[in-house]
Chain A
Amino acid sequence: GQNIDQPTEMTATEGAIVQINCTYQTSGFNGLFWYQQHAGEAPTFLSYNVLDGLEEKGRFSSFLSRSKGYSYLLLKELQMKDSASYLCAVRDGAQGNNLFFGTGTRLTVIP
């Protein structure tokens, strides 16, 4: 089965850097996704990692260590609009390449 853990809530200051961690256990790992979800809206794609290392995309970066079952999403130069939930999702090749989501981390950016 899948076991995906991420913190429930985080608070950070505008302009700062925040790291959201995600750990997972899955039998057929085939990629890890990060999605952003504003309240009442659909998840939107942020990043994808399938190999170990860091993927950078503007203010957002995502890191993966497959041996540790660990990923993080790094948000730099935080803006108020970054207040949202951040969902970690693992694609499981042993389960039809289905996505399994964590509960999400609700990030609040304060002035």
Chain B
Amino acid sequence: EAEVAQSPRYKITEKSQAVAFWCDPISGHATLYWYRQILGQGPELLVQFQDESVVDDSQLPKDRFSAERLKGVDSTLKIQPAELGDSAMYLCASSPAGGRQYFGPGTRLTVT
């Protein structure tokens, strides 16, 4: 079965540094999501793409976070500068139109 790919799986960075995460959705899935999951909580949506367009980024802290999906396939989420409170699991998911979401393995970020 096809899977959502994410890299890196783990990232440790110092506060004030820049960090980037990459996601490759399941082939043919037009919709891509980035979630943040703090330990002990459920995932929270950061940004949703439909093809290359942002559909919803209302919960994305735009002063430090940015996301792009230039060709409507893979996507990059960037944090600059990272803060201690950004330590979390960053999950990418993709779905076909109107279908259920498939999650990638996530990137666990630790900011020191």
Q: How far is the CA of A104 from the CA of B38 in the complex (A)?
A: 12
A-B contact count (CB 8 A): 45
Q: How many chain-A residues does the 8 Å CB contact rule pick out? A: 22
Interface string of B93-108 (1 = CB under 8 A from A): 0000010111111101
Known: A43-B103, A45-B100, A97-B98. A102 touches B42 (CB 8 A): yes
Interface centre among A87, A96, A103 (most CB of B within 10 A): A96
Known: A42-B105, A43-B91, A44-B103. A96 touches B55 (CB 8 A): yes
Q: Which of B43-51, B60-68, B69-77, B80-88 lines the interface with chain A?
A: B43-51
By beta carbon, the residue of chain A nearest B59 is: A98
By beta carbon, the residue of chain B nearest A44 is: B103
Tell me whether A48 and B43 are in contact (CB under 8 A). Answer: no
Segment 85-111 of A: residues with Cβ below 8 Å from B: 87, 89, 95-104
Give the chain B neighbours of A87 by CB distance below 8 A: 42-43
Tell me whether B105 and A41 are in contact (CB under 8 A). Answer: yes
Q: How far is the CA of A82 from the CA of B37 in the complex (A)?
A: 21
* Listed A/B pairs (5) with beta-carbon separation below 8 Å: A4-B42, A45-B101, A87-B43, A96-B48, A103-B41
Q: How far is the CA of A103 from the CA of B55 in the complex (A)?
A: 24
Q: How far is the CA of A89 from the CA of B44 in the complex (A)?
A: 11
Segment 17-63 of A: residues with Cβ below 8 Å from B: 33, 35, 40-45, 48
Q: How far is the CA of A28 from the CA of B100 in the complex (A)?
A: 17
Tell me whether A104 and B100 are in contact (CB under 8 A). Answer: no
A-B pairs with lowest CB-CB distance, top 7: A101-B42, A42-B103, A43-B103, A42-B105, A101-B43, A42-B106, A103-B42
